[in-house]
Amino acid sequence: MAIKRTRNKAITLRLTMDELSKFQSQYQKSGAKNQTDFVMQLLASKPIIVVNELVPFLTELKRQGNNLNQIARSLHEKSATKDSTQQILRECHELYQKLLVLKLGE
């Protein structure tokens, strides 16, 4: 016997034309009998992961990527110093260690 649910709460979404088109396209491909069932399928099928604690690490990774690009450019131009290169590599290693601790701590 099917369980009857009363869905008496509504939400409103504001979408751009592109977003609405994508939504409608995905809805049609899903084979769901209505938009509510489509959204419920989406909610049930994909876990939501919050990674707020990773924001500082991601910011630092971007900085380190920039630093590595500067090293590569300096090496290409033959203007890199040994000390500056080693310092940037040390910082990259420290960040890597912090990320490992964070991952292992989960």
Residue indicated by tokens 């994508």: 22
Q: How far apart are CA 24 and CA 82, in angstroms?
A: 56
Q: How far apart are CA 70 and CA 88, in angstroms?
A: 10
Q: Quickly state the pLDDT bin for 104 (edges 50, 70, 90).
A: low
Query: One-letter amino acid identity for 31?
Result: G
pLDDT (tens digit, 9 = 90+) per residue, 16-73? Answer: 999 999 999 999 998 899 999 999 888 887 676 666 777 777 787 788 788 788 878 8
For residue 19, the model assigns a pLDDT of 94
pTM confidence score:
0.41
For residue 49, the model assigns a pLDDT of 67
